């Protein structure tokens, strides 16, 4: 399993809901720069190059439910 923090999981869920970094920042009451940092950490942890790869791997590993699509 990939070690994902609670906040990274929240960001991952919101990415899966197609929110922009600005929308995620507003929803979580954090800066957009902090959101970008979480996104970069998630890309590195899941060893992917883009958000599409992140979502696919997150579904495979069970971090998000693919049925929402």
Cα–Cα distance measured from residue 45 to residue 68, given in angstroms and rounded to the nearest whole number: 23
Q: What is the largest CA-CA distance in the chain?
A: 30
Domains delineated in the chain: 6-63 (1.10.10.10)
| pTM of the full structure | 0.91
- The pLDDT tens digits of the residues spanning 37-53 come to 999 999 999 999 999 99
Using the predicted structure, report yes or no on whether residue 69 has a pLDDT greater than 60.
no
Cα–Cα distance measured from residue 10 to residue 58, given in angstroms and rounded to the nearest whole number: 13
Cα–Cα distance measured from residue 29 to residue 44, given in angstroms and rounded to the nearest whole number: 24
């Amino acid at each position: 399993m990939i070690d994902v923090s609670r906040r990274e999981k929240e960001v991952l869920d919101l990415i899966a809901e197609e929110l922009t970094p600005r929308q995620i920042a507003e929803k979580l009451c954090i800066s957009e720069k902090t959101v970008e940092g979480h996104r970069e950490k998630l890309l590195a942890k899941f060893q992917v190059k883009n958000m599409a790869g992140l979502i696919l791997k997150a579904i495979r590993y069970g971090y998000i439910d693919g049925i929402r699509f």
